[in-house]
Structure 1
Amino acid sequence: GRPELTTTFEVARAYRFKKGSGFPVSVPSVDLVEIGAGGGSLARVDQFGLLKVGPDSAGADPGPASYGNGGTIPAVTDTDVVLGLLDPTGFLGGDMPLDASLAEAATRAVAEGLGLTTIDTAAGVHEVVNQNMAAAASMHGVEMGVDLRGVPLIAFGGAGPVHACGVADLLESDRVIFPVNASVLSAFGTLVSPVRIDLARSLPRLIDSVDSGERDSLLEELRSEGRRVLLAAGVPQDAVVFRYGVDARYAGQGNEITVWVGEGESWPATADDVTAAFVEEYQRIYGMAIPDVLIEVVTWRLAASASTSVVEPDTTLAASTGEPVPLKSRAVVFGRGQDAVDTPVYQRSDLGAGATFPGPAIVEERETTSVIRPGWDVEVASDGSLIATRRTS
């Protein structure tokens, strides 16, 4: 599939997750929402005596309290250490051990303000940050007209795989994918994604009164520019693909939606095709269409991209030769008021394709830790991804 893209990205939203409350930046980007929840997010008791997590962060300096750089406010990383989700001796492959006593002391200070135990406070922080991520994803899904229930969740970043199954539980998603190189997935994607440039020209016209010659001349200019950029980036001539879209609206409206209508060396759609695509997208987003109102195209878009990645990573994983064997186990607390569970810990590099194991489990690698909560099962895919599926019985 393709990631959803947007032509206008908001930054510095005044109201967290709320569309329209930030500053618009008119650059094509992946359509996403800033959450402000991660391993550095700080936990505190607010003026009402409630537990708050983020959006302020410990950053890299001083970092979480367990870094030992002078931080005293517990970050999510600290509370995950307290819960046993992270091994303090194995952080960054053991090159950067964490101080569990500092993590516990910082968490205890917040616990005293809440009148809770240190463990329950750590579990509360874990739950709150999961709720923050799930709430942001849910609101973004509503903005896009997408029901996230049942949609697979992809876990990446340093802290994402630690919290993914908990977020999936809240979103009612029954599958979580932990890709290879999860901690650097965004950077990895930048390297291996097909080269692409988005171009646009404004030419407002009612859909049934578009002059095809005028439109084709405009699009030829965009194709020439897109082809020039891609060839300069090393994309072969025969690998250049053109995709066409429009920003359209009902006549009289002030906002447009982007609709993509096809690919090819020339404009691929009739007026009826554009109308049908617009109505379908409008209904998906807003739950309704407006009959008997003319549709106006404001902007004509062209996405020029390579048909394949310039860099093709080798992601084939050797098949598993038997049942996966955990390296060790440790006590892990998965929720408030729950007892610690003796949880097997696997080394990701030891897991072959086709290997399966039940949760609860921990899968460690140098840059991140994947937490498989109780009630989930894991299978290792042929490309090395961990596929966690919610148990049905």
Structure 2
Amino acid sequence: MKPSTIRLGVDIGGTFTDVVLEKDGLPFSTKVLTTYTAPENAIIDGMHQVCARAGVNPREIDQIIHGTTLATNALIERRGAKTALITTEGFRDVIEMRTESRFEQYDLNLNLPDPLLPRQMRFTIRERVDAKGQILIDLDPAEVEAVVAQIAEGGYESVAVGLMHSYLNAKHEEMVRAILVERLPDVAVSISSEVSPQMREYERFNTVVANAYIKPLMASYLGRLEQRLQDEGVRCRIFLMHSGGGIISIQNAADFPVRLVESGPAGGAVFAAHIAARYGIDKVLSFDMGGTTAKICLIKNQTPKTSRVFEVARTYRFKKGSGMPISIPVIDMVEIGAGGGSLAHVDAMRQIRVGPESAGSEPGPACYGRGGERPGVTDADLVLGKLDPDNFAAGSIKLHPDQSKTALHTHVGETLDMDAVEAAFGVAEVVDENMANAARVHAVENGEDLSEYTMIAFGGAAPLHAGRLCEKLGVERLLVPPGAGVGSAIGFLRAPFSFEANRSVYMKLSDFDGEAIKSLLSNLRAEATGFVRTCDATSPILSEFKVYMRYTGQGWEIPIDLTEEQAMNPQAAVFEARFEEDYTKLFGRPVAGMDIEITVWSVNATTPPEQVARVAEVTGSTEASQTGTRHLFDAATGSYLDAGLFERDQMTKGQRASGPAAVTEAETTIIVPASRDAIRQPDGCIDVITKGGAQ
């Protein structure tokens, strides 16, 4: 995708809103505190700041690309619209029964999360489509009108329609929508055959309910944002980052807001993939830590791993299975409540716990001096010498070490008989170990050895913790790119326009129908391409084909990538060979004598990726000049050490900073442990490697 002359990337996070402006390829960035009641205010503030630095008028901006946690937060905090669900008779309780699995098998007091909609907000109609898409019971419009009358009387703002097997035959859902639109023109409507046309009714119903639940909220926000920007004279098109790592139009985002869940983290993964391409690295562990959460993603061959189902709002220590499953294309990552604002406490077992509760930006951690009394991770980092209290967020926020020490001692130290420093050390080690453990589990689930990976760290808090995380994981190399503090917003500017269309059509290889497959994939390609063309009318569009396959009798599928030739000229033997190849990589061997089945078909239409030039890497041949020293707590030795201070902007190509050290910049600080050295690469990346080693 050819970049516009002046482009703006905006990422609304739980604590900070990051704004990046690129003018002729040169970046100008800032971080401002997120304004929860009116998120657009922080965007306007940040836009004016970067425009002033770049010497441009906001009217000159050619393109805005935006990602936000608003959709995710609305689901987590249960503050969406008053929503009704219309479903098939007999399936009213699907979203409450879930899959009947227990995410914590031995917890006798286990409480399953409440469904997004209580039972009285779920309505049924008598109709039925079978598993082959054939209509068994016709829909009675009069019955639908009676239900719509109940919805009107109840004052609902949004309606989700999820009927059995509608992914194969959407006729009944479309009839219900037509009646709703006619009778209740001011009510938002979402139908599952458009939002998530895939098998498995629990995931599909939950996804369409989530879409309907946040649709009025996001439509209102996007409308206000457009108006505020127009009031500022900004007339360019606005695009949204979606969870699959691409860009969609603001209208598509308003229609399918559930695709915006995880849009910020997706931008971060795109950013890390872009850095990986510059360095020709095929195995990357992306580490994104902001104010509220930490996100870890595996990137192979410069492409983030993707999935078609993920969970939001996990309620049980971020344990898999305890959240709401959302069935949409998404970059696959693990997310835990470990950000700079994550709050620490001591539990009943006298163990230090960190998160998932966060201080956010209002009031923020204790050190912000804005009324927060409980200690956050930022408080621990400040006490341990990782942060400069006078130069946090480019000096826009003055930190108060005395308030951090008081909060740490009061809420952690007194209970465990620790002073403030010991309490800070405990909090930092707990949060680092939580992140390391999440990375280990994610790697094992994907059959990967992290010792073969390079870490790329970004987000305001990640460079503070990445060095220690590498020590724990046995990762030899860490890259911290320029603009790391606003990495996700930069990633928005690197992302292609893309849209993934998918469909569930069950087929066994023993019943392989090449013509039907070709027709299905051609239709999906046309659908996905149509969405991309609403954003970009001229660029070439590439198609990526994927099918989800399993052995007959298995519960879940694995994704299989196909070339265009394999997709448009389908052969059963080729599909079987590709499946067995990938299945063997994951599980060690194929299963002989078993039939194979395909459940989901997917086509992603995307503009070509941005071409990047390889970096001519250098070794650290000269010592960088220190600007001072700081007492920095070294976790490996459990003591304070005298660490050199270095300004990132003053380090030149090939200069080395020996750990322990702190490399400072406006939006973050890179902590170099005593076991590591930092080298400034030609593109501005800080390359943190094992002491005495070479990258």
TM-score (norm 2): 0.53
The equivalences for 1:283-322 within 5 A come to: 283-309=584-610
* Greater shift in the superposed pair: 265-274 or 144-153: 265-274
The equivalences for 1:58-97 within 5 A come to: 58-97=359-398
Is the contact made by 2:621 and 2:654 (CA closer than 8 Å) also made in structure 1?
no
The one-letter code of the counterpart of 2:656 is T
User: Structure 2 vs 1, CA of residues 97 and 321 (structure 1 numbering), >3 Å: closer, same or farther?
Assistant: farther
CA shift for structure 1 position 314: 10
* Greater shift in the superposed pair: 228-237 or 247-256: 228-237
Task: Determine if the alignment matches structure 1 residue 128 to structure 2 residue 443.
Answer: no
Identity percentage over the alignment? 37
Is the contact made by 2:646 and 2:657 (CA closer than 8 Å) also made in structure 1?
no
CA shift for structure 1 position 355: 2.3
Show structure 1 runs of 5+ residues with no match: none
SS of the aligned residue for 1:215 comes to: helix
Q: Which residue of 2 aligns with 1:213?
A: 515
Is the contact made by 1:150 and 1:175 (CA closer than 8 Å) also made in structure 2?
no
Q: Which residue of 1 aligns with 2:499?
A: 197
Q: Quote the Cα distance in structure 1 between the aligned partners of 2:636 and 2:536.
A: 54
* Greater shift in the superposed pair: 66-75 or 180-189: 180-189
Q: Which residue of 2 aligns with 1:383?
A: 683
Q: Quote the Cα distance in structure 2 between the aligned partners of 1:6 and 1:78.
A: 35
Q: Which residue of 1 aligns with 2:659?
A: 359
Within the candidate set 55, 59, 67, 2:356 is matched to: 55
CA shift for structure 1 position 183: 1.7
User: Structure 2 vs 1, CA of residues 371 and 133 (structure 1 numbering), >3 Å: closer, same or farther?
Assistant: same
Q: Quote the Cα distance in structure 1 between the aligned partners of 2:615 and 2:654.
A: 12
User: Structure 2 vs 1, CA of residues 332 and 244 (structure 1 numbering), >3 Å: closer, same or farther?
Assistant: same
The one-letter code of the counterpart of 2:459 is G
CA shift for structure 1 position 338: 3.2
TM-score (norm 1): 0.91
Task: Determine if the alignment matches structure 1 residue 25 to structure 2 residue 326.
Answer: yes
* Greater shift in the superposed pair: 147-156 or 96-105: 147-156
Q: Deviations over 1:350-389 (max 9, x none)?
A: 2233222221111111111111111112222232211211
Q: Which residue of 2 aligns with 1:179?
A: 481
Q: Which residue of 1 aligns with 2:345?
A: 44
RMSD (Å), alpha carbons:
2.6
CA shift for structure 1 position 235: 5.8
User: Structure 2 vs 1, CA of residues 112 and 279 (structure 1 numbering), >3 Å: closer, same or farther?
Assistant: same
Task: Determine if the alignment matches structure 1 residue 107 to structure 2 residue 408.
Answer: yes
Task: Determine if the alignment matches structure 1 residue 373 to structure 2 residue 673.
Answer: yes
CA shift for structure 1 position 149: 2.5
SS of the aligned residue for 1:49 comes to: coil
Q: Quote the Cα distance in structure 1 between the aligned partners of 2:671 and 2:613.
A: 26
The one-letter code of the counterpart of 1:174 is E
Q: Deviations over 1:63-93 (max 9, x none)?
A: 1101011111111101111111111111011
* Greater shift in the superposed pair: 194-203 or 17-26: 17-26
- May I ask how many residue pairs the two structures share in their alignment? 390
Q: Deviations over 1:87-109 (max 9, x none)?
A: 11110111211011111111222
User: Structure 2 vs 1, CA of residues 21 and 269 (structure 1 numbering), >3 Å: closer, same or farther?
Assistant: farther
CA shift for structure 1 position 225: 2.1
Q: Quote the Cα distance in structure 1 between the aligned partners of 2:528 and 2:628.
A: 54
CA radius of gyration, larger in: 2
CA shift for structure 1 position 270: 3.7
Within the candidate set 634, 645, 650, 1:350 is matched to: 650
Task: Determine if the alignment matches structure 1 residue 142 to structure 2 residue 444.
Answer: yes
Q: Quote the Cα distance in structure 2 between the aligned partners of 1:10 and 1:30.
A: 12
Show structure 2 runs of 5+ residues with no match: 1-301
The equivalences for 1:213-292 within 5 A come to: 213-234=515-536, 236-237=538-539, 239-263=540-564, 267=568, 270-292=571-593
The one-letter code of the counterpart of 1:240 is I
Identify which of structures 1 and 2 has the higher relative contact order when contacts are C-alpha pairs closer than 8 Å and 6+ apart: 1
